[in-house]
Amino acid sequence: MPLLPIAVVLLALLLLLVLMGIKQINQWETALKFTLGKYSGRAEPGLTLVVPIFQQLRRIDMRTRNRDLLRQMVITRDNVTTMVDAVVYYRVIDPEKASLAVENYEAAVKDRAKVVLRDVVGETPLDQLLAHREEVAAKVKAHVETVVNQWGLHVELIGLQDVQLPPQMQEVLAKAAIAERDRKYVIIKSQADVESAKNFAQAAEILMSSPGAMELRRFETLANLAQSGATKVVFDLAKPYDAPDQARKMALAAAETTGEIAPRAQRTGLASVDHATVEQAEYEAQAVAEAQVELTAQQRRRG
């Protein structure tokens, strides 16, 4: 009779040990079995049985991990001090190596990435670091991968989150950007001036070859002058016309007057025409008269 309670107790203890030895392994994990401290195999996701006290189970997370690298003070190749923030994405691809080859693979990956980041940025000029972050990050990843691959790890990505510069260097870069924009503005404006000059020259050629168009442009110029607030415009129609160069100058002046003088007078709100405007008007009137005389002479010769 006394043996029955002992058997019940032993059976209960055995059942308890079995329950304690049942372990659940999640889908994203891989477990390594160690029997009396010696690696004895891998346990796949699901339920697995281990012998309590004699066997131990170490779980390895197989998912991709992201770890921030603390802000690093780095001196670039051109001796500029920068503060670089980076992040590393890695995962375990060989659980046995990750557990047996390195004590703490997570700290090892971060330390290795910091060292390589300092080395690569130290060999890179500041302009290239700011303009080609992805290339610098890819170079850092390649150097880190060659080492951590021996630990059963794979680096998927290393990204440079931020590159901070001293205030003096930020001011210098801002001034350089402003100067570059000013340079582009001057180039664009000079190109526009060249195109405008070509258009004025072409308009002068057309007006010189067509007396009728010249006369219409003259009326348009007079209308623009009248709208600008001029109180008096004097034209001298008594001078003869016999110089082709004068016709070219007169046509160009008419084209420029229509495109430049009248709008400028309207914008500034002038109440009267200054001396230069009156002389321009007199010159245009003289050209009109000379053109009319020449046209009359040609008609008489034809008749």
Domain count, the chain: 3
Q: Specify whether the CB–CB gap between 147 and 111 falls below 8 A.
A: no
**Is 259 part of any domain?**
yes
The verdict on 157 and 224 lying in the same domain is: no
**Is 8 part of any domain?**
no
What's the CATH code of the domain at 97? 3.30.479.30
What would the two tokens of residue 2 be?
């006394």
pLDDT of residue 78: 85
Backbone phi, psi, residue 59, to 5°: -90, 140
The verdict on 103 and 37 lying in the same domain is: no
Q: Specify whether the CB–CB gap between 136 and 121 falls below 8 A.
A: yes
Q: Specify whether the CB–CB gap between 253 and 283 falls below 8 A.
A: yes
The verdict on 81 and 145 lying in the same domain is: yes
- Give me the domain span that covers residue 135: 65-165
Kindly state the DSSP code that residue 63 receives in the 8-state scheme. S
Q: Specify whether the CB–CB gap between 71 and 81 falls below 8 A.
A: no
Q: How far apart are CA 148 and CA 93, in angstroms?
A: 11
Can you list the residues of the chain whose pLDDT is less than 70? 1-4, 212, 215, 219, 222, 225-226, 228-296, 298-299, 301-303
The verdict on 55 and 70 lying in the same domain is: no
CA angle centred on 37, ends 33 and 39, rounded to 5°: 40
What would the two tokens of residue 205 be?
């050629």
Kindly state the DSSP code that residue 231 receives in the 8-state scheme. S
| Residue 222: its H or E element | helix 211-227
pTM above 0.85, yes or no: no
pLDDT of residue 266: 43
pLDDT of residue 260: 46
Domain boundary among 113, 141, 165: 165
pLDDT of residue 2: 60
**Is 195 part of any domain?**
yes
The verdict on 156 and 96 lying in the same domain is: yes
Q: Specify whether the CB–CB gap between 293 and 241 falls below 8 A.
A: yes
Each residue's pLDDT tens digit, 199-258:
878 877 777 777 767 767 776 776 776 676 655 666 554 444 444 455 555 555 555 554
Phi/psi region, residue 109 (left: phi>0; alpha: psi -120 to 50; beta: rest), is alpha
207-216 long-range contacts, CB within 8 A, separation 24+: 207/251, 207/254, 207/255, 208/244, 208/247, 208/248, 208/251, 211/291, 211/295, 214/250, 214/251, 214/254, 214/287, 214/288, 214/291, 215/288, 215/291
